[in-house]
A = this chain, B = another copy of it.
Amino acid sequence: MPANNLAARKRQATKTNDADGNLDYGLLTGLVGYQLRLAQIAVFRDFSETLGGVDITPGLFGVLVVIESNPGLKQTRLAQAVHLDRSSVVSIIDNLERRGLVERQSADRRSNAIFLTNQGMKFLRKVRRLVLAHEKRLIEHLTAKEHKILVALLQKIFPDRR
Q: Which among B27, B58, B153, B156 is the interface contact of A33 at CB below 8 angstroms?
A: B58
Q: How far is the CB of A33 from chain B (nearest CB, A)?
A: 5
Q: How far is the CB of A125 from chain B (nearest CB, A)?
A: 12
Q: Which residues of B contact A21 (CB under 8 A)?
A: 77
User: Chain A interface: which size bin?
Assistant: 35 or more
Q: Which residues of B contact A161 (CB under 8 A)?
A: 38, 41-42
B118 contacts A141, CB within 8 Å?
no
CA distance A141 to B158 in the complex (A): 9
Q: Which residues of B contact A56 (CB under 8 A)?
A: none
Which A residues between 34 and 92 are near B, CB-CB below 8 angstroms?
A: 34-43, 47, 58-59, 62, 65-66, 68-73, 77, 81, 83
Task: Supply 7 further A-B pairs (C-beta < 8 A) apart from A32-B43, A36-B39, A42-B157.
Answer: A17-B70, A24-B70, A32-B151, A38-B83, A41-B83, A141-B157, A149-B153
Q: What are 11 A-to-B residue pairs whose CB atoms are below 8 Å? A: A2-B103, A10-B72, A13-B113, A23-B73, A26-B65, A32-B150, A33-B58, A33-B138, A35-B151, A35-B154, A150-B154
